[in-house]
Amino acid sequence: MAPSQLPPKAGARVKPDRREARQLAGLLRSGDLTPLSVRGVEEEAIRDVVRAREDALKDLKAAKVRLKAFLLRQAMRYAGRATWGPAPLRGLAAGGGPPPAPQRVFQEYVRAVSEQTERLRRLEAALPALVQSWCWRPVGEALQAWRGGQFLAAVPLIAALGDLTRVANPRQLMSSWGLVPREHARGERRRQGSLPKPGNSHARRVLVEGAWAYRYPAKVSRHRQLRLEKVPQASQDLSWKAQVRLCKRSRRLVARGKPVNQVVVAIARAMAAFVWAIARELKGGH
């Protein structure tokens, strides 16, 4: 059960084991406890690699911010078009660099960016071999056929959520991912607020990032066509159906004057329903 979802009791300051056990038994009998899925050893291994990749991304971003701040203080600018990569670093080094004292700091910052980039590359290279024997590999391959669902987006999504069919309907899935806005209703008055953002933040971020791709008209690019050839026909049909519907809905919401961030969250919420449908279909076929 999820400890964070236990119903609170106002004024309860004394909680011995006997009283707490009675409370948990009563909540279990009334159905007020939220169940959790227990992961296997293989699923936890893939999940740990995904978490390590997320940490590497954060560390790489922080290293780049520090290097940019240092270059800004030293009035060093790269005249090329690329932001990061070997070319900008070679250009900064060829420009003479800062004075001797800050030169050591400059080299350390550059080295930190290079080390974090190599660390991220190693973790991303280890994922395909682990996914080959994964029980949820068919679901991950089906999601790669989606718009905005590349390998590095589909695998973290499934690794973070596990068995999507454990919930009875997609509305429960949307609520558990924090994609349903807060609501306060009294009588005929109904007011919605911001997202509560419970559940897994990695899965919510992947869905929101993928939802930005549906701002453009529906189409099948060359890269997506190559991915579509590796999935069943039923998954291809569902992917195209989702793309047509979500692109149309995105344009309709924008035409109504909705803010772009609200439109993206609405599309991400609809994507969660399609992801649940794909997982249920593939699990039923298996």
- Report whether pLDDT(198) > 60: yes
What pLDDT is recorded for position 286? 46
- Per the prediction, the chain carries an average pLDDT of 80
Query: Would you say the pTM of this structure is higher than 0.85?
Result: no
What pLDDT is recorded for position 95? 58
Residue range 79-86: mean pLDDT, rounded: 70
- Report whether pLDDT(97) > 60: no
Cβ contacts of 203 within 8 Å, gap of 6 or more: 156, 157, 160, 161, 177
What pLDDT is recorded for position 119? 93
What pLDDT is recorded for position 93? 67
Residue range 115-141: mean pLDDT, rounded: 85
The residue with greater pLDDT, 84 or 117, is: 117
What pLDDT is recorded for position 43? 79
The amino acid at residue 71 is: L
What pLDDT is recorded for position 61? 93
What pLDDT is recorded for position 100? 65
Residue-wise DSSP of 24-85? HHHHHHHT-SPP-PPP-HHHHHHHHHHHHHHHHHHHHHHHHHHHHHHHHHTT----SS-SSS
Secondary element (H or E) of residue 149: none
Secondary element (H or E) of residue 205: helix 201-211
Residue range 149-167: mean pLDDT, rounded: 75
